[in-house]
Structure 1
Amino acid sequence: MANVLITRFSALGDVAIAVPLLKAVATAYPEDHFFIATQALMAGLFKEAPDNLKVVPVDLCGTHKGLPGMFNLFRALQPLHIDKVCDLHAVHRTYLLGFLLGWRRPVFRVNKERKARRRLTRRQNKALKPLTPALERYRKVLAHAGFVVDEAALLRTLPAKNWYMAAVQERFGAKEGLWLGVAPFARHEGKCYPLEKMAFVVADLAQRPGYRVFLFGRGSEEEATMKAWKEQYPSLELPVGGDLHDDLQLMNCLDALVTMDSANMHLGSLANTKVLSIWGATHPLAGFAAWNQPTSNQLQLELFCRPCSIYGKKPCYRKDLACLNLLTPERVIDFVLEKTKR
């Protein structure tokens, strides 16, 4: 029996990618204990995890802020008697924590393929070859630590479609027609379809007979934008409040979820719903496409400058963000209608 620490502090999407793997590993190895060190916000992703998979909350803005905070976290982890460390983050903080914990313990660390990323996103002579999917990179780390699971085990972690319908209908009433989720936000401009264009898309879909549109977003700015849209189109649904588990339950009952290359894209996959993703500066080749989703559900423009960024935070060197601005609202609407037709 081993006590295994897994570190992945952020971001939400990256933690979401790891969820099916950690659930599958914990199920396959019931005699071992697994601890995922991540921000408290992510705890909702693990509400239905096996009993031997626990969340260790990490406060990156307080107790565990910066390198000194990693010493605090190291001390807090001592009662867990960690035997192995699986670092799925590979940043300065987790390197330090791994060094402290690795004095007498093996540490297994993810390979981020940084050189391949640079070749993929360079301006000239891009190496347009697929990088290892993030979930597969994580799986290799756990396998090196002695915990091997196959794709079938990962798929068994998914809830059945409409599994949470009873709870969701208590919140939103009986399901009639087509339920469509729209998650229009992303952390960086290079991944976010312009909101004025998305407003046109949302307005069109919300007014179509038989369509019920749910908006997803967290944060004060996002909620303000969604409330402004709802004032214009009262039929829109704003499922604000609750935690990530509540979002997953609703997503599980949707017919489809329209997202950016964002955390909600990965949450939709966790909820076992159809995810329709819109791509800009980033690219599925980088290994962050939604798991268990067909490539035909990805909408993107093939431009010579794409991809220019792995995470979407680099400024557009063309200054026009053509990858998103040239994508018309009409094309997005047609894409959604095609993928949701019955």
Structure 2
Amino acid sequence: MGDVAMVVPVLRELLINNKNYKVSFLTNFQFFPFFRTFNEIDLIPFDKKKQHKGVFGMFRLYKEIKKLDLDYVVDLHSVLRTNFLRAFIKVPFYQIDKGRDEKENLVSGKIFTQLKSTHQRYRDVFKKIGISIDPSIKNQIDRLDISDLKPIPKNNKLLIGVAPFAAHKGKEYPILQMEEVIKEINKNFNVILFGGGNKEELILDQIAGKYTNVINIANKFSLNQEMDVISNLKLMLSMDSANGHIAALMGIKVLTIWGVTHPYAGFCPYGQQDQNNILANREQFPKIPTSIYGDKFPNGYEKAISSISPKEIILKIKTMV
């Protein structure tokens, strides 16, 4: 989900700079809401569980793509499935350079320097075709009406989103420490909790039940409705996870908490300043980043993100809103 959300603002840049292009975009149907503001994009649903499952499914997908009469194919994913398609598609096919060797050097400790951002890697693929993209040209995202969405509060307090979960524990701030943050910012702001999964929903319900200005919307709204809510946030507090990227594509400030992963790998949310990141203590945990996606880390490094104090997060929030 996060990778798809990261593509959206780059496509927006592309279409602002190049109004004569029409784009057909292949992605999972559940991610279609990310593209709801685009009239210039035809969305093609990819169904890996049924319609496009296995080798025969990929042949079916190839035939669907062939009918589109495309001038170019741009592969922003570079995985086994897209490599399969590349072998059959006859139009010019351009593929992202993910910088796998550089990233391997980063997590192995051979280098510790900022790598090219994923957004720039997307731009570079279009550059191969001769399409120029000026990232300085932004498209303002309007706040969307959420007046009829319950239980979003209707008072005059600013909304702050908190997305405390991540796909891997090494990227997830301990919930008891996060509750300290929520308890404090709840005094002056409306706090909207985001998450997915039944277990996460129960945890967030328990937290929301303790505080006057905290609302849990995990599993309460559709993705479209969640994006409507996000468009009204003053700030999103997120882990290195999809919610930060969704907020960024909506033009919202994102404060990202980093554990065993690191901004140097190039996965910061779109358009965010360096100071919008809070990092685990690398003096205590010198092997950070231990992996690109946070799924691998040495014993004990699951506690790295705990080296960030709730007070540090609270102070940063107050400076950003």
Q: Normalization by structure 1: what TM-score?
A: 0.86
Residue 70 (structure 1) aligned with residue 58 (structure 2)? yes
Report the Cα offset of residue 228 of structure 1: 2.5
1:206-252 CA-partner distances (Å, limit 9, x unpaired): 2x1x3110011123332222222223335321234443333232222
Say whether residues 1:32 and 2:21 are aligned partners: yes
Which amino acid counterpart does residue 63 of structure 2 have in structure 1?
A: R
Partner of residue 226 from structure 1, selected from 200, 204, 210: 204
Deviations 1:50-81 (A, max 9, x none): x2211111112222234443222112223212
1: distance between equivalents of 2:124 and 2:232? Answer: 32
Deviations 1:117-173 (A, max 9, x none): 011101xx43111111001000011121232221133x12x314xx32xx1233235
Kindly indicate whether the alpha-carbon contact (under 8 Å) linking 2:260 and 2:289 is maintained by their aligned counterparts in 1.
Answer: yes
Asked whether the 8 Å contact 1:23–1:53 carries over to 2, the reply is no
Identity among equivalent pairs (%): 30
CA distance in 1, matches of 2:177, 2:49: 34
Pairing 1:1-342 to 2, within 5 Å after superposition: 12-49=1-38, 51-101=39-89, 104-122=90-108, 125-153=109-137, 155-156=138-139, 158-160=140-142, 163-164=143-144, 167-171=145-149, 172-206=152-186, 208=187, 210-233=188-211, 235-239=213-217, 240-303=219-282, 304-314=286-296, 316-340=297-321
CA distance in 1, matches of 2:158, 2:99: 41
Distance 2:132 2:301 in 1: 45
- Amino acid of the structure 2 residue aligned with 1:318: N
Q: How many pairs align? A: 315
Write the distance in 2 (CA, Å) between the matches of 1:224 and 1:40. 27
Q: Secondary structure at the match of 1:193?
A: coil
Gaps of 5+ in 2: none
What secondary structure does 2:238 align onto? strand
Change over 3 Å in CA distance of 1:97–1:241 after alignment to 2: farther
Structure 1 residue runs without a partner (length 5+): 1-11
| Aligned residue identity for 1:80 | L
Q: Secondary structure at the match of 1:268?
A: helix
Q: Distance in 2 between matches of 1:242 and 1:69?
A: 32
Q: Which shows bigger deviation, 197-206 or 251-260?
A: 197-206
Q: Is the 8 A contact 1:133 1:286 kept in 2?
A: yes
| 1:256 positional shift | 1.1
Task: Note if contact 2:73-2:91 (Cα within 8 Å) is conserved in structure 1.
Answer: yes
How many Å apart are 1:317 and its aligned residue?
Answer: 0.8
For residues 337 and 119 of structure 1, the distance between their equivalents in structure 2, rounded to whole angstroms, comes to 36
Q: Is the 8 A contact 2:75 2:95 kept in 1?
A: yes
User: Is the Cα contact below 8 Å between 2:189 and 2:213 reproduced in 1?
Assistant: no
The 3 A distance-change label for structure 1 pair 151 and 31 is closer
Q: Which amino acid aligns with 2:102?
A: A
The 10-residue stretch of structure 1 (320-329 or 81-90) with the greater mean CA deviation from structure 2? 320-329
Q: TM-score, normalised by structure 2?
A: 0.91
Amino acid of the structure 1 residue aligned with 2:197: G
